[in-house]
Structure 1
Amino acid sequence: MELLRNMSLFVEVCKVMNFRRAAESLEMPSSTLSRRISKLEQDIGLRLLHRTTRKVELTEAGQVYYERCKRIVDEANLAHEQLGAMLEQPSGLLRASVPVDFAIIYMAPLLAEFTALYPGIQIELDMTPRQVDLVSESVDVAIRMGTPPDSNLIARKLTEFKSQLFASPDYLALTGMPEHPDELKHFDCIGFPKVDKWILVKGEESLAVAIGGKFRVNNVGMMKRLSVLNQGVIMLPRSAIEEELEHQQLTPILENWHGLSLPVFALTETRLLPAKVRVFVDFLREKLAYQER
């Protein structure tokens, strides 16, 4: 049991590569943590960590040992948690990194229902645009738009979006209704920064349409607002502008055409998810899958 405990301490140190931060997370003195890791190295007979006053680094043996130990520790924690879950609801602080537009438009209406189902879970959302490091920043799950790049993270698909074209009735009264995507070059199009063309699809046909206009913005709420104020055409999922459609502030154009599918993934650092993360990801997947995107 002492060996397993020391292995788990070693894994916690490796996650942050800092004895002080790991000790704070474990709520134990740094000296005790250092002594336990030294004992582990003595039991194994190999140096696992290079320690200096400035940094901690894994040795070659330490890297191999960490990859093995992490799976063992994760399995042990999961087994312990699953037994506990038989007696009580999932609980604890759930930290999620989420794109701001996705959080406001899609997640906000679902969070009240989720917390009613799992009152023991508290949710902390990081809605900054930066790409967080799940391990070093202790983030449980990250929601990302688009196919994630190859990495060691585990990706679970939640849903996908198909965007359509919309503009305000007053703007279209001035410009006329386009009959073909090629005509969009004569319209003000409000797109994301660094995007100079839209890919539009109809059946087997696909077109790359150059877009121009006065505005490029990286916020869906601002896009919608500008379009409602008669500033041009936007391309968004219909589900993102339901309120504007209901109040007839925006109207669809070129309805037979749509953008490429945009998948949405939940990224986690491991397949062995704590109960609070597992129920959160499963809840989002279930709720988003049955709604027209």
Structure 2
Amino acid sequence: MELLNDMALFVEVAKAKGFRGASEATGVPNSTLSRRISALEKAIGLRLLHRTTRRVELTEAGQVYFERCKRIVDEARLAHEQLGEMLAQPSGVLRASLPVDFAVIYMAPLIAEFAERYPGIRFDFDLTPRQVDLVSEPFDVAIRIGEPESSHLIARPLASFVQRLYASPSYLKRSGVPMEPADLARHECLNVLRDRPWTLHRGKQSIQVSTSSRFTLNNVGLIRRFATLGMGIVLITDELAADDVAAGRLVRVLPQWQGKPIPVYALTETRLLPAKTQRFIEFLKERLAKNHAGT
């Protein structure tokens, strides 16, 4: 890259027939230009320029070198412009693995907006709960909620979602409203996969409470649905509860307390990503940050 930059500077000096004109064109100081060209001549082992007090002229070797450098620099600039166009309007199939409920409930409008912005991209989404293998399977990116399990993947943070406690009005009418976190031990607390303690925060105060449930589930959407049907209290993100809260099917419980923030990551096998994947990750990070401004 440094050699290509020196070649580009040499082309500008040759075109301007002097260091002052080349300095004005490139913004590189005269002294730096002179030093870089001298280093280039030393590396090649040939004098490329005749320097006078007023101007510089190409030597015979310099003329040959100039013509070749100009062609290389022009091709490099053209390639850069073409890559810029590809980044501006990427195309191809974007293969992504997404969390089922998060994708259906929250990401769907974001994906629709992204698809409208980039009409050249087609989409192949996998919404099964399994953990796809980004190394052996043809996925460009996996969006995951929670800390990544594999250290072999590149994890790019997208957002962090706050968890809060929700229950249906019917459940609270039947079982009572918990007034403090310790009361949750006497309630049906719907968890993912297994009974586990909930760590709740209120400002700098933190407390861990034991939870138990008749149900063992591995799907957040079903947990949320059970909560709307009066089956217990659930700890989920505001985003997943928003529609049910707006419809009156869920209400906040212990509103001054909240669970541990849940991070959202974009996982890829490599840092070198095609334009379609770069744009998708950048878009999600931008929109998620915008949606959570001030929360």
Is 1:241–2:250 an aligned residue pair?
A: no
Partner secondary structure for residue 86 of structure 1: helix
Q: Secondary structure at the match of 2:256?
A: coil
SS at match of 1:143: strand
Structure-2 separation of matches of 1:80 and 1:108: 35
Look up the SS of the partner of 1:218 in the other structure: coil
User: What are the ranges of 5 or more consecutive residues in structure 1 without an aligned counterpart?
Assistant: 1-78
TM-fit CA distance, 1:135 = 2.6
SS of alignment partner, residue 190 of structure 2: coil
Change over 3 Å in CA distance of 1:81–1:257 after alignment to 2: farther
* One-letter code aligned to 2:208: A
In the TM superposition, 1:149-188 aligns within 5 A as: 149=149, 151-188=151-188
Query: What residue number does 2:4 align with?
Result: none
Using a 3 Å threshold, how does the CA distance of structure 1 residues 189 and 80 change in structure 2: closer, same or farther?
farther
3-state SS in 1 of match to 2:291: coil
Which region of structure 1 is more displaced relative to structure 2, 146-155 or 193-202? 146-155
**Which whole-Å CA distance do the structure 2 matches of 1:81 and 1:258 have between them?**
48
Contact 1:167 1:228 in 2 (8 A): yes
**Corresponding residue for residue 215 of structure 1:** 215
What amino acid does structure 2 have at the position aligned with 1:168?
A: S
TM value normalised by structure 1: 0.69
Shift of 1:105: 1.7
Shift of 1:81: 8.5
| 277-286 vs 200-209, which moves further | 200-209
**CA apart distance, 1:82:** 7.0
| 2: CA distance, partners of 1:82 / 1:180 | 61
Is it true that 1:135 corresponds to 2:135 in the alignment? yes
- Gaps in structure 2 of 5+ consecutive residues: 1-77
Tell me the amino acid that sits aligned with residue 85 of structure 2: M
Alignment of 1:1-293 (within 5 A): 83-86=82-85, 89-149=89-149, 151-292=151-292
**What CA distance in whole angstroms lies between the structure 1 residues aligned with 2:146 and 2:113?**
26
SS at 1:285's partner residue? helix
Which stretches of structure 1, 4 residues or longer, exceed 4 Å deviation after superposition? 79-82
Amino acid in the other structure paired with 2:141:
V
User: 1:169, CA displacement in angstroms?
Assistant: 0.8
Question: Which structure has the greater CA radius of gyration?
Answer: 2
- Deviations along 1:172-206, one digit per CA (max 9) or x if unpaired, are 11222111110011111111112421111111221
Which position in structure 1 is the counterpart of 2:26? none
> Match of 1:217, SS?
coil
- Equivalent residue of 1:290, what SS? helix
- 1:213 CA drift (Å): 2.1
Q: Is the 8 A contact 2:194 2:217 kept in 1?
A: no
Contact kept? 1:146, 1:263, Cα under 8 Å = yes
Residues in 2 aligned to 1:205 and 1:197: alpha-carbon distance in whole angstroms: 16
Closer, same or farther in 2 for the Cα pair 1:252/1:198, shift >3 Å? same
Choose 83-92 or 178-187, whichever is displaced more.
83-92
CA distance in 2, matches of 1:80, 1:270: 23
**What is the distance in 2 between the residues matched to 1:261 and 1:241?**
15
> How many pairs are equivalent?
215
User: Identity over the aligned pairs, expressed in percent?
Assistant: 46
The 1:269/1:81 distance shift into structure 2, 3 A limit, reads farther
Counterpart position of 2:13: none
User: Which residue pairs with 2:56 in the alignment?
Assistant: none
